């Protein structure tokens, strides 16, 4: 059954929440009194559709339905999750919560995107205080997984457990802070760095661009995959964290920082920073900067996914869960009719699969077909356990026909047929589609190999039987157009 989320406040953060829920299969109902709210949400959603699905190597659930409403009561109707993202004024938030709680479901979660207020402050005067908690995300919400979940004693433990499970289900990482504090945890780091950066600019030590360069070419990359303490543990060498603390701890007493002091926000300082920022990035529109940001985030997070580390490990876990609940999680015995082509790939084309012509790079057609072959091998029992026992298939020959182009964000399916198989041999035919449009075909001939001798050998009996079952069931199909074709042969 499709779940419904209500988004109260459709700005950058609210729009990001809407996109995160919508692209993970939820229906989303938005309220924002801004007459341009629908346009702004649509623009955020366009960027999300372009970037989020490509983080995974399996397609997300079918997109939910988006609707905009003229009142809070209409937006929260039937919603099990309500996300408040209104301006950072406590009086506005209290009025918003009061309006929400007049008509919302009593079991609905009310999360606040606040970056500074504590949940006890948000709950003051509420009809049902335990229903309200901090769920503070990071921009862009549709890509960055962290959510700081901050609760009070008013919040039932079972509700917290449900909230964490739900957020994990839409690809996010709920960091549950059991003790509330102003600005939570992550923003306190950002505030410290921001204060120091303001002084460096004001004192003429560095420009805005030089400060950004120091972060993005140095410690920012380390932090992206290891955080702070794990980075410093490595810096301690073989002696570890104690050595690092002993070596660099005394530096904390040196007058390096101005963290407890803030430069006065004079017009001169604002003009200085704004002017440097314009010189640094003014040649890009905000929408263009968002797309550049998203391209970089997707590339970094997909790289981390390949290593099953940091934010990438979250993507791996989400992908595994989606596969398990889809036809891509089937085994050969689960397929009642083996005479039909088997769906082996169902995924979005990621941003980093496109080339200078704006469409999918030719090498990625091979990767998609290679992934389809791997999936079919897994289907017939040539899985990780089988390979660990000493047998696998090696590709001996491949022929790809590029029939049509496809662009980033497109959902592609690969359907696989067995043209022949048994003993040492497996002959596969892949067809790649976007909807009903044929994009490419791939013909692949593989040999079963002993990983001990690295020479061809007969497949194990269970793998061989599963392969022969498909080959026999599909033997009466006409030969696919293009099968056996050599490069440059006329159509």
With 0-12 / 13-18 / 19 or more C-beta atoms within 10 angstroms meaning exposed / middle / buried, residue 490 is exposed
Measuring CA to CA, how many Å separate 103 from each of 21, 78, 97?
Answer: 22, 9, 11
Look at residue 122 and give its three-state secondary structure.
Answer: helix
**Rounded distance between C-alpha atoms, residue 460 and residue 395, angstroms:** 18
Does 7 carry a binding-site annotation?
no
Does 70 carry a binding-site annotation?
no
**Rounded distance between C-alpha atoms, residue 86 and residue 83, angstroms:** 9
**Residues whose CB falls within 8 Å of the CB of residue 74, separated by 6 or more in sequence, listed in order:** 29, 31
Which helix or strand (DSSP H or E) is residue 394 part of? strand 391-402
- Count CB neighbours of 28 within 10 A: 28
Helix axes 267-281, 186-202, angle to 10 degrees: 100
**Residues whose CB falls within 8 Å of the CB of residue 45, separated by 6 or more in sequence, listed in order:** 15, 18, 19, 22, 66
Q: What are phi and psi of 248, to 5 degrees?
A: -110, -10
Are 49 and 20 spatial neighbours (Cβ–Cβ below 8 Å)?
Answer: no
Does 13 carry a binding-site annotation?
yes
**Rounded distance between C-alpha atoms, residue 144 and residue 322, angstroms:** 19
**Rounded distance between C-alpha atoms, residue 194 and residue 489, angstroms:** 63
Does 11 carry a binding-site annotation?
yes
Helices (H), 124-178: 157-169
Helix axes 157-169, 311-324, angle to 10 degrees: 90
Measuring CA to CA, how many Å separate 274 from each of 27, 277, 279?
Answer: 40, 5, 9
DSSP E strand boundaries for 18-172? 27-31, 66-69, 81-84, 109-112, 132-136, 146-150
Does 14 carry a binding-site annotation?
yes
Does 221 carry a binding-site annotation?
no
Q: Which residues does the annotation place in the binding site for NAD(+)?
A: 9-14
């Amino acid at each position: 059954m499709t779940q419904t989320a209500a988004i109260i406040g459709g700005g950058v953060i609210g729009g990001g929440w809407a996109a995160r829920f919508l692209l993970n299969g939820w229906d989303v109902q938005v309220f924002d009194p801004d007459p341009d709210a629908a346009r702004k949400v649509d623009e955020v959603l366009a960027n999300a559709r372009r970037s989020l699905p490509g983080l995974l190597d399996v397609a997300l659930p079918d997109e939910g339905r988006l609707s905009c409403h003229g009142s809070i009561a209409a937006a929260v109707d039937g919603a099990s999750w309500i996300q408040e993202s209104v301006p950072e004024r406590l009086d506005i938030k209290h009025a918003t919560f009061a309006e929400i709680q007049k008509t919302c479901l009593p079991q609905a979660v009310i999360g606040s995107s606040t970056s500074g207020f504590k949940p006890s402050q948000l709950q003051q005067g509420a009809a049902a205080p335990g229903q309200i908690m901090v769920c503070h995300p990071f921009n862009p919400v549709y890509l960055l997984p962290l959510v700081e979940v901050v609760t009070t004693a008013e919040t039932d433990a079972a509700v917290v457990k449900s909230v964490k499970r739900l957020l994990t289900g839409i690809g996010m990482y709920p960091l549950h802070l059991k003790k509330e504090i102003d600005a939570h945890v992550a923003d306190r780091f950002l505030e410290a760095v921001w204060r120091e950066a303001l002084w460096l600019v004001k004192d003429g030590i560095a420009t805005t661009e030089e400060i950004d360069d120091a972060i993005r070419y140095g410690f920012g990359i380390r932090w992206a995959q290891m955080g702070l303490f794990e980075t410093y543990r490595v810096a301690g060498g073989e002696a570890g964290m104690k050595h690092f603390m002993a070596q660099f701890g005394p530096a904390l007493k040196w007058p390096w920082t101005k963290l407890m002091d803030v430069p006065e926000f004079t017009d001169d300082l604002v003009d200085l920073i704004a002017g440097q920022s314009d010189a640094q990035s003014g040649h890009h529109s905000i929408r263009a900067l968002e797309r550049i940001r998203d391209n970089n985030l997707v590339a970094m997070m997909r790289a981390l996914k390949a290593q099953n580390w940091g934010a990438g490990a979250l993507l791996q876990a989400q992908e595994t869960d989606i596969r398990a609940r889809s036809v891509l999680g089937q085994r050969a015995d689960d397929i009642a009719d083996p005479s039909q082509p088997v769906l082996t790939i169902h995924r979005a084309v990621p941003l980093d699969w496109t080339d200078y012509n704006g469409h999918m790079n030719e090498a990625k057609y091979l990767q998609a077909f290679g992934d389809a072959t791997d999936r079919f091998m897994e289907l017939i029992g040539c899985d990780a356990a089988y390979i660990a026992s000493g047998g696998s298939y090696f590709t001996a020959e491949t022929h790809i026909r590029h029939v049509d182009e496809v662009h980033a964000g497109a959902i592609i399916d690969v359907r696989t047929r067995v043209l022949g198989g048994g003993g040492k041999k497996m002959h596969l035919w892949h067809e790649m589609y976007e909807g009903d449009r044929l994009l490419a075909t791939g013909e692949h001939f593989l040999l079963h190999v002993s990983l001990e001798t690295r020479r061809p050998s007969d497949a194990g009996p269970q793998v061989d039987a599963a392969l022969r079952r498909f080959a026999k069931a599909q033997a009466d199909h006409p030969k696919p157009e293009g099968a056996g074709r050599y490069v440059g042969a006329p159509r």
